[in-house]
Amino acid sequence: MDAAPTAPETIKEAERQIARVPLVLHRRNFSWLTERISGVVEQPAPRWWWVAFTITGSAATFGLFCIGYLISTGVGTWGNNIPVGWAWGITNFVFWIGIGHAGTLISAILFLLRQKWRTSINRSAEAMTLFAVICAAIFPGIHVGRFWMAWYLAPIPSNWAIWQNFRSALMWDVFAVSTYFTVSVLFWYTGLIPDLATLRDRATTRVRKLLFGVFACGWRGSNRNWRHYEMAYLLLAGLSTPLVLSVHSVVSFDFATTILPTWHTTIFPPYFVAGAIFGGFAMVLTLLLPCRAMFKLHDVITAQHIDKMAKIILLTGSFVGYAYTMEFFIAWYSGSSYERFGSWNRVFGPYWWYWWFGMLFCNVLSPQLFWFRWCRRNVLVVFFVAMCVNAGMWFERFIIIVGGLHRDFLPSSWRMFHPTWVDIWTYIGTLGIFTSLFLLFVRFLPMIAMSEVKTAVPEADPHYTTPPGIQSVSPGGKERPR
């Protein structure tokens, strides 16, 4: 057992396997990074961008039309019924809130853990977070039917005599999500300031110079600027970290505080948080893999980054599988006939394929491919699993919500849920809004945090000296083959 092979080639291979790989490949220097990342914003939009934006913009527009139709006509345009209620809206709300988790995890928790690999992906993940939360916020706003009364959700002075129910988990949700959104915006914007200044300094038109100049808040890159910036960033990371846990925990309270079978289970808070990070990372990969290919960012978003994200998906997906196991085991162990029926109904009831395909295959089994290195290193496999997880997490929310409601305590009240075309197109519309906003972000702001990536290259070390015979690659220099 203790004897390891000592042949030189075996040792060499082992050393190769454990060697640290640079986070930016091919010795790209500071200048190359600035040129390549700013170039995405400064060059004319490629044709594929216009095609994609037309499609997503059309979906978003039709989604907004559906919302207008809902508000003008009434909630009867949705497939809501008794006992299921507005299941579609809640499913979409939870789905989008979940997507919005990876950004803050990457920007805050990975920052506190000193994980430098986050620098290549944090900016776009944070932007994605904001857009996902915007999509999520649409649903509680419009489900009330009388959309113009949605301000009742906001904190209101008591002398207005509008008595909100602070004992309701739905009310806690409003506070949790709005706090999360506010801090995420601040965090994202703070990180953007040095890069906005870079774009300002490179701007060739007055309008760009003015706009980037205003938003760069007079950044000069001085020692004092950096000192304040880094302290602000650290404090925001500290503030954001509990928010990553709190938001989806509070969302899970919407369900777990009830006494409804399959909803009331104590593992819901960490299970929802893990599921959210799981779904969020899948969406980051879904968006970044095409961007990486289209904008030729392989040296910045490397196979190593994808590998690490795949490992996080494997970890969180396995925790989700653990939570499913606990739910089933305790439902059985509790001896409660309602809990047992609820679990059985989830697997063999009318929505059985949602469970088998969505929860089991997409969420638990497909990420297990990431145990194998070649799967984590194969972009097509990674993209396939990411798409499975995107779908699986939506199905999971649907089966939790509808599955818990459609079989009421009285069998005479049992009823299936059927979405209407307005339901379906509103959801597709939010997908359109999300992707449109992301495409606009990619076009108008640096999608990779230039200033942060530069801290991850060897030249950032003040003691760094270029090894003899090696030159870093400047923008005008000859590109090395990949």
Partner 1 sequence: MSERSQTVPTPEGEYFESTRFAGLSFLLGSVALVALVLCALGAVVNPHQFSYSWLFAFAFFFTLCAGCFFWTIVHHATDAEWTVVVRRQLENIAALLAVLALLFVPILLLRHHLYAWMDIPPGHEAALDFKRAYLDFNFFLIRAIVFLGYFIVASQLLRRFSVRQDRDGNPQFTIWMRRVSFASLPMFALCLTFGAFDWLMSLNYHWFSTMFGVYIFAGAAGSSMSLLVLVITALRQAGYLKDVVTLEHYHIMGKWMLAFCIFWAYIGFGQYMLIWYANIPEETQFFIARNTQSWWALSMLLVVGRFFGPFAILLLRSIKKHPHRLCIVAGWIVFMQMLDMYLIVLPALHGTGVHVSIWDLLSLIAIGATLGFVYLRLVPRTSLFPVRDPRLIESLKLVN
Interface residues with partner 1 (CB under 8 A) are 1-2, 4-6, 10-11, 14-15, 17-18, 112, 114, 242, 245, 249, 253, 256-259, 264-270, 315, 318, 322-323, 326-327, 330, 332-336, 371, 463
Strand partners for 473: 28
Task: Compare residues 152 and 332 and give the one whose CB is closer to partner 1.
Answer: 332
User: What's the one-letter identity of residue 263?
Assistant: W
Task: Compare residues 198 and 265 and give the one whose CB is closer to partner 1.
Answer: 265
Q: Nearest distance from residue 332's CB to partner 1, in Å?
A: 7
> In whole angstroms, how far apart are CA 407 and each of 138, 312, 398?
28, 35, 14
Give how far the C-alpha of residue 404 lies from the chain's centroid of Cα atoms, to the nearest Å: 26
Q: Nearest distance from residue 333's CB to partner 1, in Å?
A: 5
Instruction: Extract the tokens encoding 246.
Output: 């709190």
Q: Nearest distance from residue 344's CB to partner 1, in Å?
A: 14
Cα–Cα distance between 83 and 447 in angstroms, integer?
A: 44
Task: Compare residues 43 and 334 and give the one whose CB is closer to partner 1.
Answer: 334
Q: Nearest distance from residue 111's CB to partner 1, in Å?
A: 13
Task: Compare residues 89 and 321 and give the one whose CB is closer to partner 1.
Answer: 321
Specify the long-range contacts of residues 40-45, CB closer than 8 Å, at least 24 apart. 40/295, 40/442, 40/443, 40/446, 40/447, 41/199, 41/443, 41/444, 41/445, 41/446, 42/199, 42/202, 42/204, 45/443
Q: Nearest distance from residue 14's CB to partner 1, in Å?
A: 4
> In whole angstroms, how far apart are CA 95 and each of 125, 276, 278, 419, 448?
16, 8, 11, 16, 25
DSSP 378: -
Q: What is the CA radius of gyration of the chain?
A: 24
Task: Compare residues 144 and 260 and give the one whose CB is closer to partner 1.
Answer: 260
Q: Nearest distance from residue 319's CB to partner 1, in Å?
A: 8
Q: Nearest distance from residue 337's CB to partner 1, in Å?
A: 9
Task: Compare residues 16 and 47 and give the one whose CB is closer to partner 1.
Answer: 16
* Residue 76 phi, psi dihedral angles, 5° rounding: -60, -15
CB-based contacts of 294, cutoff 8 Å, min separation 6: 46, 48
Strand partners for 85: 81
Task: Compare residues 271 and 438 and give the one whose CB is closer to partner 1.
Answer: 271
Task: Compare residues 5 and 476 and give the one whose CB is closer to partner 1.
Answer: 5
Q: Nearest distance from residue 247's CB to partner 1, in Å?
A: 13
